[in-house]
Structure 1
Amino acid sequence: MQQLQVLGSLLDEISGERLEGMFGPQLLERLSPLLTLQNRIAAEVARTVRQCELADAAEFDGKASMASWLRGHARMSQSAAGHLVRNGRALEHLPTVATAFAAGTISAEAVSVIAPAAAPKNLTAAAEQGVDVVAVEELLADVARTQFHPQLRTAVSHYLDRLDPDGPEPDPTEQRSLTWAKHSDGSVTGRLELDAVGGEKAMAAVESIVQANRPAGDLRTRAQQQADAFVQLCDNQLAAGTLPTLRTFKPHVVVTIPIEDLVGSDTAHATADLGFGATISAARARWLACDGNVTRIVIGPESQPLEQGRSHRIVPPHLWRALTARDQHCVFAGCDAPAHWCEAHHLVHWAHGGDTDLHNLALLCERHHTKVHHGFRIERDESGRWHTYRPDGTEILILPRITDEQVTTRAG
């Protein structure tokens, strides 16, 4: 324990160093040994977790397993705790990998990739086939030290496939999982695991939308682009109307908002309720209400429904066809998102008395529909050309930007 106290004191000293003002080479020289130390500490953590498991130490704190102890006491996710426990178990059968891990030359992530090779069923299969497990392990450890991470995954996968060449093809559905975690503000965090084929399909679908929507000046990160593409993929499916019914209805986004908030100008949070329990602001609800089905429900003083009117489609199909024929794509300056990605935006919201006819509608993709409901503005001039204005009133102009002087010169 004294050594750990010394280590903690050294870390306190290191964390107290000022990094501001250091140049790139200095920072990289500092980072490299820190990464090695991180690997070495991770190796000691995995080794200790394994010994805790063998000693049934979790029972001392009333926990059934080390994985549950790590989730409860170290605040780890289920996935991280599971990986740590599996790494500790695998290292017992992978001495070369364990040595490299302890030396800091390979990472915990690399150990997690190699760990399946030390699973009991794979060790048994290797023994039955006379496979030199020691040589295989040394090879995998060398790949982990010298090659990029995808190469390590490929090497491990190749070994496991050769270990059971005639085995039954795994059921891809058993390798897939998708979990949601909803937070207090209605946002969602998810974890996705797919088999190789399922992952290829998902990446191909998302990437097609990412590559088709790369406007000039796009400052979104790669992760943001992919998330937007995933939401767009869901939008396309919901709009197509081909998804299975959900409790006798086609799946759709449900928003419940008091009429006074819908027609007002307040932007307060937690005003409207979504179908799966989240709450959103009045401004975002107005955006969603631009183009959808609206049902009027009269609520009594004790919150009981007294009357329910018919649902009305804000933009009927014939008007949508005329709108897409006219605009063809998102009309926000610099965006060419196709019509089937877009929503019908009311220039003057229908809740404020705006007409639902062609002259009061515009096609906007989700990203720019949000922008227009948060300060940006679009207008269509008499010639049919769309203009986009920033919140400060300046117009967004697309290159080449022709000045009045240039127009005069060309005319001359």
Structure 2
Amino acid sequence: MCSTDCATPVECLEGALQALAGQDLKPLFGPAVLERCGALVVARNRLGAEVARTVREGELTQASEHDGAASMGGWLRGHHRLPPGVASRLVRNGRALEQLPVLAAAAAAGGVSPEAVSVIAPVASAENVAAAEAQGVELAGIDAALTKVAILRSHSELRQVVAHYLARLDPDGPEPDPTECRSLTIGRDGNGMVVGRFVLDAVGGEKLQAAIESILQATRPAGDLRSRAQQAGDALVQLCDNALASGNLPILRTVKPHVVVRLDIDDLVDPHPGAGAARTGFGGIISAARARWLACDGNVSRVVFGPDGHRLDLGRSHRVVPPALRRAVELRDEHCVFAGCDAPSYWCDVHHLLHWIDGGETTLENSGLLCERHHTKVHHGFQIVRDTAGRWHTYRPDSTEIQIFEPFLVPA
């Protein structure tokens, strides 16, 4: 703790960061800038190690349950808006630092970055520790050796050394299950474009390439001078179009999977381009013109939040939410409304705010989207409430509200 009046080390850190942010960098020249930057990188490494250590303690004590989250990874995603991959890496880093004390000491001193810890983390997984013990490999020696590489060698070399070690743990083992190494992550960049990364085994990758190549070659028009990557992107979308049009995909919450676009009626009938006027089911923003183009080959459903259109007020005779009401709830809520949860609508149930058994009606006003976990939480003491401004609030069983981290004032 510093010599000031700070009550906790975290308060000291906040004061130091505030002082750093207030420092004028313009008077600094080259060497001074580099010295400052280097010190900050070391501090970043040390802070990363401390965050991982704290996340691990939260995992061991199930601290996330206090806010209704299933795990520390879920809490980091929901309450601090970290991408899923970043949250997962923090959890893995915390586990690894607990298992590898030499690496933990180097990270705490700022000599090893959080990214390097992430590369080494698989070494400390339960299956790899068991494999090392079976071969008489001492984890302490591996901890020291890999930490030395992380401190002295490049990041790419560290990756190679770790990969070599893991491969040597089981050189003659059984053929790996291909489903264990497959992954697909999808997100959005700052421009709203859908971006992603996938990893497939050799056979799975061959299937994808065969499907993409067949569509690419069959539909490639003469004179198309775009890159192969652009053409392959078209082929991937066409592959999805074919699958959706076949009607053979699994049902999602009683509804066949389809592209959902929400657009106000005024924008639908007005011929203006309407940039950013429509929202897709997965949170994308498109123009009114693009939405009208989709409507040419789709069904247009009118959902009126009021007495007209679909009869959303079903009174007491209906306990099960019908498709029209579910669609209205999905359009309003978009995802699980429990604080810190962004589970998509197709994972969610429609929850009666006042339970049906207690006299609650099956209406839009008495409904809210909840994923399976948080639906269970609400039936075991937690409570969700929608205020007059349309904002959802979540309360713990002791009636305290779960607050989402919002350190900055958002301009009106």
Normalising by structure 1, what TM-score?
0.53
> Equivalent residue for 2:197?
192
Q: 1:234 to 1:13 in 2, by over 3 A?
A: same
> Equivalent residue for 2:125?
119
1:10 aligns with 2:16: yes
Once the two structures are superposed, residues 144-192 of structure 1 have per-residue CA deviations (whole angstroms, 9 ceiling, x without a partner) of 1122222111111111111111222323443222243479x99344332
Q: Cα offset for 1:84?
A: 1.2
Q: 1:17 to 1:133 in 2, by over 3 A?
A: same
Structure 2 residues without counterparts, runs of 5 or longer: 1-6, 213-225, 248-258, 302-307, 310-412
Q: Cα offset for 1:95?
A: 1.0
Q: Cα offset for 1:283?
A: 7.1
> Equivalent residue for 2:61?
55
Q: 2:277 and 2:192 mapped to 1: Cα distance?
A: 15
Q: 2:77 and 2:281 mapped to 1: Cα distance?
A: 31
Larger-Rg structure: 1
Normalising by structure 2, what TM-score?
0.53
Q: 1:17 and 1:94 mapped to 2: Cα distance?
A: 37
Q: 1:195 to 1:133 in 2, by over 3 A?
A: farther
- Count of residues paired in the alignment: 276
Q: 1:80 to 1:285 in 2, by over 3 A?
A: closer
Once the two structures are superposed, residues 215-236 of structure 1 have per-residue CA deviations (whole angstroms, 9 ceiling, x without a partner) of xxxxxxxxxx9xx874442225
Asked if structure 1 preserves the Cα contact closer than 8 Å seen for 2:116 and 2:150, the reply is: yes
Q: 1:17 and 1:101 mapped to 2: Cα distance?
A: 27
1:234 aligns with 2:217: no
Look up the equivalent residue of 2:124 and give its one-letter code: A
Corresponding residue SS for 1:178: strand
Q: 1:189 and 1:242 mapped to 2: Cα distance?
A: 14
Q: 1:56 to 1:159 in 2, by over 3 A?
A: same
Corresponding residue SS for 1:88: helix
Asked if structure 2 preserves the Cα contact closer than 8 Å seen for 1:50 and 1:89, the reply is: yes
> Equivalent residue for 2:245?
247
Q: 1:74 to 1:248 in 2, by over 3 A?
A: closer
Q: 2:70 and 2:281 mapped to 1: Cα distance?
A: 37
Asked if structure 2 preserves the Cα contact closer than 8 Å seen for 1:180 and 1:189, the reply is: yes
Q: Cα offset for 1:280?
A: 3.7
Asked if structure 2 preserves the Cα contact closer than 8 Å seen for 1:186 and 1:280, the reply is: no
Once the two structures are superposed, residues 377-401 of structure 1 have per-residue CA deviations (whole angstroms, 9 ceiling, x without a partner) of xxxxxxxxxxxxxxxxxxxxxxxxx
Q: Cα offset for 1:41?
A: 1.0
Asked if structure 1 preserves the Cα contact closer than 8 Å seen for 2:42 and 2:110, the reply is: yes
Q: 1:51 and 1:248 mapped to 2: Cα distance?
A: 49
Query: Looking at both structures, which has the greater relative contact order when contacts are Cα pairs under 8 Å and sequence separation is at least 6?
Result: 2
> Equivalent residue for 1:341?
none
Q: Cα offset for 1:62?
A: 3.6
Q: Cα offset for 1:285?
A: 8.6
Q: 1:60 and 1:242 mapped to 2: Cα distance?
A: 41
> Equivalent residue for 1:41?
47
Structure 1 residues without counterparts, runs of 5 or longer: 206-224, 304-412
Q: 1:268 to 1:48 in 2, by over 3 A?
A: closer
> Equivalent residue for 2:142?
136
Q: 1:196 to 1:109 in 2, by over 3 A?
A: farther
Asked if structure 1 preserves the Cα contact closer than 8 Å seen for 2:103 and 2:144, the reply is: yes
Which stretch of the first structure deviates more once superposed, 59-68 or 6-15?
59-68
Asked if structure 2 preserves the Cα contact closer than 8 Å seen for 1:100 and 1:141, the reply is: yes
> Equivalent residue for 2:86?
80
Corresponding residue SS for 2:174: coil
Sequence identity, in percent? 44
Q: How does 1:146-185 map to 2 (within 5 A)?
A: 146-181=152-187
Look up the equivalent residue of 2:131 and give its one-letter code: A
Q: Cα offset for 1:52?
A: 2.5
Q: 1:271 and 1:63 mapped to 2: Cα distance?
A: 33
Look up the equivalent residue of 1:191 and give its one-letter code: G
Asked if structure 1 preserves the Cα contact closer than 8 Å seen for 2:183 and 2:200, the reply is: no
Q: 2:83 and 2:172 mapped to 1: Cα distance?
A: 36
Which stretch of the first structure deviates more once superposed, 190-199 or 51-60?
190-199
Q: How does 1:392-411 map to 2 (within 5 A)?
A: none
Q: 1:39 to 1:162 in 2, by over 3 A?
A: same
Look up the equivalent residue of 1:233 and give its one-letter code: A
Q: Cα offset for 1:99?
A: 0.9
Q: Aligned Cα RMSD in Å? A: 4.8
Q: 1:275 and 1:32 mapped to 2: Cα distance?
A: 44
Q: 1:265 to 1:173 in 2, by over 3 A?
A: same
Q: 1:182 to 1:147 in 2, by over 3 A?
A: closer
Once the two structures are superposed, residues 97-141 of structure 1 have per-residue CA deviations (whole angstroms, 9 ceiling, x without a partner) of 111101101111111111111111211111121113222221111
Q: 1:22 and 1:162 mapped to 2: Cα distance?
A: 50
Corresponding residue SS for 1:247: helix
Asked if structure 2 preserves the Cα contact closer than 8 Å seen for 1:180 and 1:188, the reply is: no
Q: 1:276 and 1:244 mapped to 2: Cα distance?
A: 19
Q: How does 1:237-386 map to 2 (within 5 A)?
A: 246-248=244-246, 266-270=272-276, 280-281=286-287
Once the two structures are superposed, residues 38-95 of structure 1 have per-residue CA deviations (whole angstroms, 9 ceiling, x without a partner) of 1101111111222222233333334333222322333323222221122111112211
